[in-house]
Amino acid sequence: LAKTTQPISMDSYEGQEVNITCSHNNIATNDYITWYQQFPSQGPRFIIQGYKTKVTNEVASLFIPADRKSSTLSLPRVSLSDTAVYYCLVVAGNNNDMRFGAGTRLTVKP
């Protein structure tokens, strides 16, 4: 599985757009990119998944360039409740597990 690299922490303010970029230089052809969110003392929650270009849902957007060596999770107009750890994962269809790194700890300030 491709290793992922993302910032350890980020700060933002309410109402701002937050972009968290993840590097995955060794991503394989069949790998997908997925992002999870985890609040303290809770299990992770799925946010979005994508293979290439742009994916958008009601929560976030995921931008993946043509070479797929990185991806950017975009959270529009964050609120205090978006303070959490965000995990970028590269997952392969023939694997049964997800490899969570340390994630990015996002702190949204008033």
Interface contacts to another protein, rule CB under 8 A: 32, 34, 41-46, 49, 87, 89, 91-103
Query: Which residue, among 70, 95, 2, 84, has the nearest Cα to 36 in the 3D structure?
Result: 84
Nearer to another protein, 95 or 107 (CB): 95
Nearer to another protein, 67 or 97 (CB): 97
Tell me how far CA of residue 78 lies from CA of 25, 63, 67, 71, in angstroms: 28, 18, 28, 19
Minimum CB separation from another protein for residue 65, in Å?
20
Minimum CB separation from another protein for residue 68, in Å?
15
Relative to beta strand 70-75, strand 104-109 is: unpaired
Nearer to another protein, 44 or 78 (CB): 44
